[in-house]
Amino acid sequence: MTAPQAALMSQIDARRDRLIALTQGLIRIPTLNPPGLHYREICDYLAEWLSPLGFRCDILRASGAIADSDRHPRWNLVARREGARPGDCVHFNGHHDVVAVGEGWTTDPFGGELKDGRIYGRGACDMKGGIASAVIAAEAFIAAHPDYAGAIEISATADEESGGYGGVAWLAEQGHFDPDRVQHVIIPEPLNKDRICLGHRGVWWAEIETKGRIAHGSMPFLGDSAIRHMGAVLAEMEEVLYPLLAGRTTVMPVVPEGARSSTLNVNAIHGGEPVQDADYTGLPAPCVADSCTITIDRRFLVEEDIGAVKGEIAALMERVRARRPTFRYEIRDLFEVQPSMTDKDAPIVRSTAAAIERVLARRPDYVVSPGTYDQKHIDRIGKLKNCIAYGPGILYLAHQPDEWVGVDDMVDSSRVMALVLADLLAPQG
């Protein structure tokens, strides 16, 4: 390590207690989503932390976004600190919302308890620990390199857990992630301090309905069962589609490895009579089902085109129709996201990889997430390709009871992020 790098590392070490206090402070604001509680409070809290460091803090409401209402407004913080001269802007983006607590906790989910080097609470690793690590990295960097070039931005955004439409998507639509404004983005999601997440697979959700004709269940030949039609669809998926998808390989280093191919999940199936209320004590009525619906969740790879993904399902339905004279169906799109994968040679990837080697004395692993996160909006709406997820915490702890983040892991990833700032904004330092 060079002398300036060593000086930067000691600025991080001097802030260990501040890092712990900030993480605890963030956890103690219960920003539950849904419905989206205390968003304003957490933005104010962070703004009070960042303003004395010279950040201009804008607290912005995603008016008109999905889920925004006067009762549960979608507040976002964008903090920016200009350097001494022109240069690139490095942006850290963290979502401030957390998911429901659930059962099985042995600690207070909003207590932020520090025990044996771990801080516990809902959102500890996903991702308030990551936000705190980025803030401390910026603090340390500003202290060590007050004359840096360019700008540092830190955003804390709403609703990632429910799609990000009142958060990063809205900010991107307002131009906050335009490439002429922001050049490098790190999203400190809990991917482990030695891994760089380059992006995620694509998603297509759709509803498929088969149609039939209602008749008395004792004379099913007088009707046409939508459930039997759906059975034929599912059989075709089992016999043809699943083996085909499992054989499709990718350059994407998706973890876990089971997701390193195309996947299809049937999220739900429903056909025939509606489910009765729990207090209904009668028997069901005998009817032939006139409708059956499944919801499919198709995850796809950079090698696949969304049009081809949809066409594959349409072709499957047509094959089934060719064998069943009365077969009628409908496919309804629900939701889609393109796959996103930042190039391994992109500046933010190279810089973070070098910093990980310096701090941890090992080469990073490059990974891709099986599911999506806010990178999708930065890529598609913001048109910015130089974006990764990198941060402290263990991914499988996210959304679990007794969620925690390790203090040493936060310190290490804060060191990495500070070195990235030094590399990109103060290269001579």
Q: Using the minimum distance from each CB to Zn ion, give the nearer residue, 189 or 304.
A: 189
Residue nearest to Zn ion as judged by C-beta position:
126
C-beta atoms surrounding 104 within 10 Å: 8
Only segment of 42-50, 107-115, 148-156, 181-189 that touches Zn ion (CB under 5 A): 181-189
Q: Using the minimum distance from each CB to Zn ion, give the nearer residue, 119 or 127.
A: 127
Cis amide prior to 220 (ω within 30 degrees): no
Long-range pairs for 46-50: beta carbons < 8 A, 24 or more residues apart: 46/77, 46/79, 46/96, 46/131, 46/135, 46/154, 46/156, 47/77, 47/79, 49/22, 49/135, 50/79, 50/81, 50/135, 50/154
Give the residue from 387, 395, 414, 415 showing the smallest Cα distance to 186. 387
C-alpha to C-alpha distance for 223 and 234, rounded to whole angstroms: 21
Q: Is 97 a catalytic residue?
A: yes
Cis amide prior to 73 (ω within 30 degrees): no
Only segment of 26-34, 114-122, 184-192, 222-230 that touches Zn ion (CB under 5 A): 184-192
For residue 364, what is the DSSP state? P
Q: Site mask, Zn ion, residues 188-207, x = CB under 5 A?
A: -x------------------
Smallest separation, CB 63 to Zn ion (Å) = 24
Only segment of 25-33, 46-54, 125-133, 215-223 that touches Zn ion (CB under 5 A): 125-133
Only segment of 10-18, 121-129, 174-182, 418-426 that touches Zn ion (CB under 5 A): 121-129
Smallest separation, CB 105 to Zn ion (Å) = 19
Smallest separation, CB 310 to Zn ion (Å) = 28
Give the per-residue SS3 of 143-167: HHCCCCEEEEEEEEECCHHHCCCCC
Q: Using the minimum distance from each CB to Zn ion, give the nearer residue, 188 or 212.
A: 188
Smallest separation, CB 298 to Zn ion (Å) = 22
Smallest separation, CB 277 to Zn ion (Å) = 36
Long-range pairs for 254-263: beta carbons < 8 A, 24 or more residues apart: 254/201, 254/367, 254/368, 254/369, 254/370, 255/367, 255/368, 255/369, 255/370, 256/370, 259/201, 259/299, 259/370, 261/301, 262/298, 262/299, 262/300, 262/301, 262/304, 263/298, 263/299, 263/370
Q: Is residue 159 part of the contact set for Zn ion (CB under 5 A)?
A: no
Q: Is residue 97 part of the contact set for Zn ion (CB under 5 A)?
A: no
Q: Residue 273 corresponds to which amino acid?
A: E
Q: Is residue 126 part of the contact set for Zn ion (CB under 5 A)?
A: yes
φ, ψ for residue 423, nearest 5 deg:
-65, -40
Residue by residue, DSSP assigns 241-277 as IHHHHHT---SS-BSSGGGSS-EEEEEEEEESSPPPP
Catalytic residue among 68, 126, 153, 160: 160
Only segment of 182-190, 207-215, 219-227, 269-277 that touches Zn ion (CB under 5 A): 182-190
Q: Is residue 131 part of the contact set for Zn ion (CB under 5 A)?
A: no
Smallest separation, CB 389 to Zn ion (Å) = 9
Smallest separation, CB 197 to Zn ion (Å) = 11
Only segment of 27-35, 60-68, 118-126, 198-206 that touches Zn ion (CB under 5 A): 118-126
Strands 149-157, 85-95: pairing kind? parallel
Q: Using the minimum distance from each CB to Zn ion, give the nearer residue, 290 or 409.
A: 409
Q: Is residue 127 part of the contact set for Zn ion (CB under 5 A)?
A: yes
Q: Using the minimum distance from each CB to Zn ion, give the nearer residue, 15 or 74.
A: 74
Q: For the packed helices 407-425 and 347-360, what is the interaxial angle rounded to 10 degrees? A: 130
Q: Using the minimum distance from each CB to Zn ion, give the nearer residue, 96 or 145.
A: 96
Smallest separation, CB 390 to Zn ion (Å) = 13
Task: Estimate to the nearest angstrom the gap between the alpha carbon of 295 and the chain centroid.
Answer: 21
φ, ψ for residue 226, nearest 5 deg:
-65, -25
CB 317 within 8 A of CB 331: yes
Q: Site mask, Zn ion, residues 217-256, x = CB under 5 A?
A: ----------------------------------------
Q: Using the minimum distance from each CB to Zn ion, give the nearer residue, 146 or 371.
A: 371
Q: Using the minimum distance from each CB to Zn ion, give the nearer residue, 129 or 272.
A: 129
Q: Site mask, Zn ion, residues 28-57, x = CB under 5 A?
A: ------------------------------
Catalytic residue numbers, as ranges: 97, 160
> Which positions lie near Zn ion, rule CB under 5 A?
126-127, 189
